[in-house]
Amino acid sequence: MIRSMTGYGAAERTTDEVRIAIEIRTVNNRSLKISQRTPEGLGAAEVEIERLVRRRLTRGTVHVLLTVEPVGAAARAPINRKVLAAYWKDLAALRDELGGDDSPPALEALLALPGVVGDEAVVLTGIKNLAALVEKTAGEALDRLDAMRETEGQATANDMAANLEDVARRGPIVRQRAGLVIQDYHQRLQERVQALLEGVEMPADDATLAREVAFFAERSDINEELSRLESHVEQMRGLLGASEPVGRRLEFLAQEMYREANTIGSKANDAEIAREVLQIKVAVDRLREQSQNIE
């Protein structure tokens, strides 16, 4: 199914020890670019999230926001026992040196010393199955992201199909008119020659007229460009129903269709064809813009 590169997915889960929330936003990009904001100390989870994203997405800029909050008993800040013991030993030695009493140092004062109470990152590393919980939550967020991208992609595909049919409908009109352009040129040329030779006893040279008409027909022949345009239309129709990522191929075809339309307009040398080509270019330009949002 066609998928848009723009989407949003979020998931959250809470256990007795931790609350995990993940938001994933995607926008257009020609390649895959991943930007993550994760809590300090969760480098392994960041690597796993990137692996999951790369397995599911092929194009777009991906913004990932991971929030991990300890809850319950896990929310306490850990005490660094080795640092606390070192402070205790130093204060006891200082007390003996200064000749103080034998009362132990106050714990309240010791807890305020640098390094005794740890930070949140230390707590997170001690939560059971944290990596697995983050992975499951990320998977749920990606599922919801995919669902939104598929919904938007289908709407885009439907709009692209309508523009594609507009191009397909105008192709035969241009082809039919191209055949009449040669006849019109032949008639205008004959009338012009007759007008120039009026009153002059000199017959028009039919062979010369025929060569001039043939030269004009060759110079303004657009059958090859129309055939390529029709081929591109059929290829794009097939891609709009594909299940794999086709955004780059759609972009390429849209660019080629625009190039063929330009060539047709410049070679045809006819006002009616120029009007049809203008509408074809408008539709193809929409196709080109839309294909840039397809994965």
Per domain, the residue ranges of the chain are: 7-74+122-148, 79-117, 151-291
pTM: 0.70
Burial bucket for residue 55 (CB in 10 Å: 0-12, 13-18, 19+): exposed
- How many whole angstroms separate alpha carbon 281 and alpha carbon 231? 16
Greatest mean pLDDT among 85-99, 124-138, 165-179: 165-179
Q: In this structure, are residues 17 and 128 in contact, taking their beta carbons and an 8 Å threshold?
A: yes
Q: What is the pLDDT of residues 148-162, one digit of tens each?
A: 999 999 999 999 999
Range with lowest mean pLDDT among 24-28, 100-104, 174-178, 206-210? 206-210
Spatial contact of 294 and 161, defined as CB atoms under 8 Å apart: no
Print the SS3 string covering 108-154.
HHHHCCCCCECCHHHHHCCCCCHHHHHHHHHHHHHHHHHHHHHHHHH
pLDDT range class, residue 124, cuts 50, 70, 90? low
Q: Say which residue the tokens 């006891």 belong to.
A: 92
CA separation for the pair 71, 124 (Å, rounded) = 10
CATH number of 7-74+122-148: 3.30.230.70
Q: 189-202, pLDDT tens digit by residue?
A: 555 545 544 555 54
**Is residue 4 within 8 Å of residue 295, measured between CB atoms?**
yes
